[in-house]
Amino acid sequence: MSFARRSKERPMLRKGMLQIIARIRLPFGSNRDQWGTAIDRELIKVWIKMSNVKPAQARALYRLITGKTRRSTSLPSESETITLDEIIIAQAESLGWRSLTSQIVLFRCSRWSDELFVPEMFERFGKTLARSVHILSGKKRPPIDDPGLHDFKKRAVAELRYLLREMRSLFSRHSPAPSSDELAHWFVKRLAEDSRFSRLRANPLHWVVFLAEEESSDILKLQLTGRLAPAALFDSWLAYFKRHEPEYLRKRLTRLRPLS
């Protein structure tokens, strides 16, 4: 198949793809193999959701890639693997260098080079990896288009509402009033202790950094007096790390379609 013809066949994926990085829960210091296995697992899930590939075919290809089988009679079609390529490139924006720990990603890279001869795929992949570095360095802002954020916010705000109610019950009548540092220490400690706060516990270090910032250090005091809603606290926290204004981020999250 010619290079020109294959380029025209590249599908246009819809915006709002689930971000794999947001669904991986690995402890700090996880090794290459752990990252690769987690990415492969989530990559297959997204591929099945966004294409016509059958789950059994996707799993058969993965077994072939990982050497768990040497042959299979039921593998994805060419059009389905092209969709997989597009997903790989799109996910590289948030995964960054971790994409290269994935055996599926490395397998597709080998096909771009050895079998399909499509250097444009390496160009696009490289540009997406470069953009991920710009986002991490703060030179560019990350997109707010992950539909999973809609459900994540809903559940996280419910957890915040319960946690902040507990905080007000404990500290509202303290004299003298607790300091910002005391409230932040209690908040993070409760996240670590209670498994009910599963959404909030997914990013404990983010909460530590956010509450330590001068601009947001008094935000729990506002919560203590009831002058800031739990949803507004969530928006401020997420906006800090996404480098968007809270109001802009709130509107973007409102427009995201919830997961079906």
Alpha carbons 132 and 189: distance in angstroms, whole number: 32
How many other C-beta atoms can be found within 10 angstroms of the C-beta atom of residue 28? Answer: 5
> Would you say residue 37 lies in a domain?
yes
pTM: 0.78
Q: Write the pLDDT tens digit of every residue in 4-47.
A: 334 445 665 655 688 898 888 887 788 999 999 999 999 999 99
For residue 2, the model assigns a pLDDT of: 38
Q: Write the pLDDT tens digit of every residue in 193-239.
A: 888 998 888 888 889 889 888 677 788 888 877 778 899 999 999 99
User: Domain boundary at 116, 137, 158, which?
Assistant: 137
Whether the per-residue pLDDT at 3 is higher than 50: the answer is no
> Would you say residue 260 lies in a domain?
no
| Mean pLDDT (whole number) for 49-61 | 93
> Would you say residue 206 lies in a domain?
yes
Domain that holds residue 11: 3-137
For residue 15, the model assigns a pLDDT of: 57
- The answer to whether residues 115 and 153 belong to one domain is no
> Would you say residue 143 lies in a domain?
no
> Would you say residue 26 lies in a domain?
yes
- Look up residue 166 and give its DSSP letter: H
Q: What is the DSSP string of 23-84?
A: G----TT--HHHHHHHHHHHHHHHHHHHSS--HHHHHHHHHHHTTS-S--S----HHHHHHH
- The answer to whether residues 67 and 97 belong to one domain is yes
CA proximity to 20, closest of 47, 1, 55:
47
- The answer to whether residues 96 and 118 belong to one domain is yes
Tokens of 223: 């919560």
Asked if 127 and 143 count as a contact pair (C-beta separation under 8 A), the reply is no
Could you give the number of structural domains in the chain?
2
